[in-house]
C-alpha cells in the first residue's frame, strides 16, 4: 500500500510491488491475479450472505439485505477491518484511481450476487432480489467512496449503517 500511496497506483509497476514484498514477479501473481486485487479485497461475501439469509423472510428483500449487511458489519473481523488504516488507504486509492474503481465495482458485483442468491433462497423473486442487492451495494459503495475521499474522521461502519438503514426508513 505504501508504494501505491507514494507513487500512485497506475505509476507503480508490479515488479516494484513484488520487490518491496521480497517475492518474485511470478510469486506475486500466484497470490494476486491482478495488481488491482492487492487493493480491492473482499473476504466478507460468505458472512454477508449468511447474515442476509438469517433475516426474517417476512421483511422486504431490501430490508433483509440492509439488516443482513448491518449485522455482518458487527463481526469482530469486520470491525477490525473498518478500523484499520489500510482500509481507508485502499478505499481512498479506489476513489481516486479509475482502474481501481472498476475493480471495486467488479468486486461489488460478486457481493451483489451473493446477497441476491441469499434473498432468492429466502423466497424473493429474482427481480426483487437483484434490485435489493443492487441498491444495497450501490449505496454502500457510494458511502465508502465519499468517506475515503474526504477528511472525515468518522467511523465508516457507523456511516454505512446510518446510510443503509436510511434506505429502509429505519433511524436506528
Mind listing the pLDDT tens digit for each residue in 36-64?
999 987 778 899 999 999 999 999 999 99
Task: Give the chain's domains with CATH numbers.
Answer: 1-33 (no CATH), 37-167 (1.10.357.10)
| pTM, rounded to two decimals | 0.86
- The model's confidence at residue 1, banded by pLDDT at 50, 70 and 90, is confident
Report the pLDDT value the prediction gives residue 106, as an integer from 0 to 100. 86
Q: What is d(CA 133, CA 69) in angstroms, rounded to the nearest whole number?
A: 10
Q: What is d(CA 161, CA 58) in angstroms, rounded to the nearest whole number?
A: 21
Sequence length of the chain is 172
Structure-block grid coordinates of residue 117: 442468491
What DSSP character marks residue 1? -
pLDDT at 97 over 80: yes
Q: How far is CA 154 from CA 39, 87, 138, in A?
A: 22, 13, 20
Summarised one tens digit per residue, pLDDT across range 112-163 is 999 999 999 978 999 999 999 999 999 999 999 899 887 778 899 999 999 9
Report the pLDDT value the prediction gives residue 102, as an integer from 0 to 100. 87
Amino acid at each position: 500500500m505504501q508504494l501505491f500511496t507514494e507513487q500512485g497506483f497506475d505509476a507503480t509497476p508490479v515488479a516494484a510491488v513484488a520487490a518491496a514484498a521480497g517475492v518474485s514477479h511470478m510469486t506475486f501473481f500466484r497470490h494476486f491475479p491482478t495488481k488491482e486485487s492487492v487493493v480491492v479485497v473482499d473476504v466478507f461475501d460468505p458472512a454477508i450472505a449468511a447474515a442476509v439469509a438469517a433475516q426474517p423472510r417476512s421483511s422486504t428483500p431490501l430490508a433483509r439485505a440492509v439488516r443482513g449487511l448491518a449485522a455482518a458489519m458487527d463481526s469482530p473481523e469486520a470491525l477490525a477491518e473498518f478500523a484499520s488504516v489500510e482500509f481507508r488507504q485502499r478505499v481512498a486509492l479506489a476513489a481516486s484511481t479509475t482502474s481501481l474503481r472498476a475493480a471495486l465495482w467488479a468486486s461489488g458485483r460478486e457481493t451483489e450476487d451473493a446477497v441476491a442468491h441469499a434473498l432468492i433462497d429466502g423466497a424473493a423473486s429474482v427481480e426483487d432480489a437483484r434490485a435489493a442487492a443492487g441498491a444495497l451495494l450501490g449505496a454502500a459503495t457510494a458511502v465508502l467512496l465519499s468517506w475515503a475521499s474526504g477528511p472525515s474522521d468518522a467511523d465508516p461502519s457507523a456511516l454505512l449503517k446510518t446510510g443503509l438503514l436510511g434506505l429502509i426508513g429505519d433511524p436506528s
